[in-house]
Amino acid sequence: MRTIVSQKVISALLLVVVAGSLASSEGRTSKAGAQIALAQPLTIRWRYDSNLTLNLTPACDEERIYLPLAGGTIVSLRAKDGQLYWRAEMGGELSASPVADEQAVYVASEIELEAGKSEAAGRRATGTLRSLGREGGVTHWMRTLAKPLRGRLTISGQRLIAGGSDGRLYAFDKRTGEILWVVTLGASFNSQPVTVDERVYAGNEDGNLIAVQESTGKLLWRYRTRGPVRGPVAVANGTVYFGSGDNYLYAVNSTSGRLLWRKRTGAGVEAVTLVDNALVVASLDNFAYRFSLNGGRDWKRQLPGRISAQPLTAEDGVLFTPLSSAAGVVLGLRDGRQVNSLPTGEEITTSASPIAVGDAVLLTTEHGFLAFAQPKQPPKPEN
pLDDT tens by residue, 219-247: 999 999 999 999 999 999 999 999 999 99
Q: Is the pLDDT of residue 11 over 50?
A: no
Q: Phi, psi (5° rounding) for residue 311? A: -75, 160
CATH assignment of 225-308, among 3.40.50.180, 2.60.40.420, 1.10.10.10, 2.40.128.630: 2.40.128.630
Q: Is the pLDDT of residue 4 over 60?
A: no
Give pLDDT, residue 12. Answer: 41
Residue 14's contacts (CB-CB under 8 Å, 6 or more residues apart) are none
Average pLDDT, the chain: 89
- The Cα 220–Cα 213 span in angstroms is 7
Q: Phi, psi (5° rounding) for residue 26? A: -90, -25
Q: Is the pLDDT of residue 8 over 50?
A: no
- The Cα 198–Cα 194 span in angstroms is 10
Give pLDDT, residue 115. Answer: 53
DSSP lists the bridge partners of residue 105 as 100, 132
Give pLDDT, residue 125. Answer: 74
The percent of residues in the chain predicted with pLDDT above 70, rounded, is 86
Give pLDDT, residue 22. Answer: 32
Instruction: Write 200-204 long-range contacts (CB < 8 A, 24+).
Output: 200/156, 200/161, 200/169, 200/171, 201/233, 201/235, 201/240, 201/242, 202/161, 202/163, 202/169, 203/228, 203/229, 203/230, 203/231, 203/233, 203/242, 203/244, 204/163, 204/167, 204/228, 204/229
- The Cα 95–Cα 109 span in angstroms is 5
Q: Is the pLDDT of residue 250 over 50?
A: yes
Residues 250, 241 contacting (CB under 8 angstroms): yes
- The Cα 239–Cα 233 span in angstroms is 10
> What value, to the nearest 5°, has the Cα angle with vertex 341 and ends 335 and 347?
125
Give pLDDT, residue 280. Answer: 97
Kindly report, residue by residue over 254-290, the tens digit of the pLDDT. 999 999 999 999 999 999 999 989 999 999 999 999 9
- The Cα 62–Cα 64 span in angstroms is 6
Over range 325-353, report the average pLDDT.
Answer: 95
Q: Is the pLDDT of residue 74 over 50?
A: yes
253 compared with 20, residue with greater pLDDT: 253
Q: Is the pLDDT of residue 14 over 60?
A: no
- The Cα 312–Cα 321 span in angstroms is 9
Give pLDDT, residue 30. Answer: 52
pLDDT classification of 382: cutoffs 50, 70, 90: low
Over range 129-142, report the average pLDDT.
Answer: 97
